[in-house]
Structure 1
Amino acid sequence: MADLYALELALTLSASTPEPVLALIREHMAPYAEDGVAEDGDDGDDFAPPPFKVLAERGPAYRVGGECTADLTRTPAGWTLTARQEIHAESLPDAEQLLNALTPHLTTPGAPLGTLRFYEDPDPQPITPDASGAVRLS
């Protein structure tokens, strides 16, 4: 049995969002390197898997249907992030960590950031920050 989720995001970040937060989004959107990353930087004997990138997948989704996409766009009001990704249950904490870095910069605090849907469930669940502003997916 698969434990995949469709993660869909549609949010607007303020124009004053700091560059380190935008860089974090861009890093999560960047494709994975084709080869491994060596921890010691030399011959690759000490392979270290790359960190999970919440927004890196592109192309057809494996189980949840549709396409995996992600786009960060500059607008007059700030930044928009739209994404649709297929993630495993064990990666939900990584998605929470990214979303928690974004919530202080939302133009509409408390508004839904998107939806999360287990691949066998027809009804997506809204992703909203709790009273403390934190996002919990698991």
Structure 2
Amino acid sequence: MRFVIGKHGLRPFDKAARDFLDSLTTTEPIEVEALHPHDAAFRRHIFGVLEALADGLHTTPEVVRAKLLMSTGNFQLVGHVMGSTVIAVSSMSRSAMRDPELRTFWDEAKTIITDNMLACIKDDAERHRVEELLSLEPA
């Protein structure tokens, strides 16, 4: 069974969780442990850097994310359609890319950003802003 944490506390995510909560007859505390701990600050930091990088490159964060996922090998070759190669980049959602995989991806992505992508930002102020964000560690 799975639960999610919302604005109003722990809520059931699936039928098994709803049934479990409905079956409780006491108000005794229940102890739960996160199956996959989640570092929200780290994830926000990464997406903030990707957005700043996209602004500097005059593109969208989705394009930047796709390029980095491709460059780090986080994609699947789907096949060939009408003479074009079709790929599917991996998802960076919490359920698809847990924190350890995200940290590995980010270590590789930072190298690609500093070695290749920063040089494409023409505006010095934008480039320095992205460099500063890259050097910061999330809280």
Relative to the length of structure 1, the TM-score reads 0.29
Structure with the greater alpha carbon radius of gyration: 2
Greater relative contact order: 1 or 2 (C-alpha under 8 angstroms, separation 6 or more)?
Answer: 1
- Tell me which protein shows more helix as a share of its residues: 2
* Structure with the higher strand share, 1 or 2: 1
TM-score (norm 2): 0.29
